[in-house]
Structure 1
């Protein structure tokens, strides 16, 4: 058997469901005095799958808590069968986990998928590329004439999550080792941001008006003057002060970069 053929045979064995190897593979190997070929291959087969399970368990502890260990193990097995690891780094193994959950878990699919997206957001935020975010000193150095045209965009690490369920409460319960609450529909959809500053992931929920303002600035390409004009409907003469207050918070938190002129 050529090396390439042997490697492909070993890969098929690792990815397959059966512990019993094909005769061509086992026949190409030699056992030792204390470990026969089939037992040695079975150890590899089990260890590979155990490692994949360990990665998903580490990335999605809240989903595991919500389902319970037996159901989570079944979910992981089904997901790995549907979406086997195809990247050299296991960091990407859970990329499609939330979408898979939505279709796989009857009755609980939507809240559990949302919880999985929240947990995956922390992975994405932590591994996102570095960027030169806007700082308070840089803001202070702006000329007065530059403020009306000021435009922003979100830093690459910022993950924007629209949540319909109490996923954040469930996630916090697992972190705090508190009683895990049942999934519940929120009275109003809320936005949760997950981002990274100085290698630490942070998160917070946004009130609807702040979410509207931040989305308008970063996705709608509003200028600061346009933001103030939009806020004037609700805040009247206090619109510039409210806009400046939010802007200062976004900058202090490391959420935004300057864009445009």
Structure 2
């Protein structure tokens, strides 16, 4: 990239972080050759900032409700200053937001579960938009290729499932599983229960239900039932599906 072109993008990046007023004057001072009306440039700045806000509101609706309007507005404004609007895909503006939230818990007085909730909501989108493709058929039990595992200090799965009926999530270690259903193409999630972990172990290590029954003493019918249920949910891919 030529130095002059890089200078242009750096100038626009600084302006878009905080458009209007003095920053607009500074932008035109940096580019005296410009003939575009300042009103048009200002409108473009508002347009980009609006994209940042709308993307965050779409990606983190539960976090927005959890922190309150005043704290949310401050988060969005300060996050915009980090210049997140650089990816060609709009939703990726939110990729760095969970870390930004985590860094500001103490200084902003955010709820202690805010970082965990932000990570969960971003992971929901990341799994949904994953480029990993599920094969149409498999030869043996196989983990869903979009599976993502989150280890968090709050019971976020139950909190999200309650859809606002629970004010704050319960504290406690949780291993959350998130994956995209191969047929429904939406994100599924659940706590990593013993049955879920067992079925995933079978898929990873190529174990049969009879092998597991002998090793654990569990009834083979119960094991097969868990495999069938989690196959329907898409956590694992089954050759019988």
TM-score by length of 1: 0.71
Secondary structure of the residue that 1:79 maps to in structure 2? Answer: helix
Does the alignment pair 1:78 with 2:92? Answer: no
In the superposition, relative to structure 1, how do residues 95 and 6 fare at CA in structure 2: closer, same or farther (>3 Å)?
Answer: closer
Does the alignment pair 1:8 with 2:9? Answer: yes
Displacement after TM superposition at 1:4 (Å) = 3.3
In structure 2, the partner of 1:43 is 43
In the superposition, relative to structure 1, how do residues 155 and 57 fare at CA in structure 2: closer, same or farther (>3 Å)?
Answer: same
Given that 2:200 and 2:236 are in contact with CA atoms closer than 8 Å, whether structure 1 keeps it comes out as no
Quick one: distance in 2 between partners of 1:182 and 1:190? 18
- Where in structure 1 are there 5+ consecutive unaligned residues? 32-36, 139-149
Does the alignment pair 1:184 with 2:170? Answer: yes
In the superposition, relative to structure 1, how do residues 38 and 202 fare at CA in structure 2: closer, same or farther (>3 Å)?
Answer: closer
Does the alignment pair 1:250 with 2:221? Answer: no
Displacement after TM superposition at 1:241 (Å) = 2.7
From 28, 34, 51, give the equivalent of 2:33. Answer: 28
Given that 1:160 and 1:191 are in contact with CA atoms closer than 8 Å, whether structure 2 keeps it comes out as yes
From 125, 131, 136, give the equivalent of 2:134. Answer: 131
Given that 1:60 and 1:120 are in contact with CA atoms closer than 8 Å, whether structure 2 keeps it comes out as yes
Displacement after TM superposition at 1:257 (Å) = 4.3
From 205, 209, 213, give the equivalent of 1:222. Answer: 205
Residue by residue over 1:19-55, the C-alpha shift from the partner in whole angstroms, topping out at 9 and shown as x without a partner, is: 2322435643446xxxxx3333222222211211110
Residue by residue over 1:169-190, the C-alpha shift from the partner in whole angstroms, topping out at 9 and shown as x without a partner, is: 443454xxx445123314x635
The structure number with the bigger radius of gyration is 1
Quick one: distance in 2 between partners of 1:161 and 1:111? 14
Displacement after TM superposition at 1:67 (Å) = 0.7
Q: Would you say how many aligned residue pairs link Structure 1 and Structure 2?
A: 230
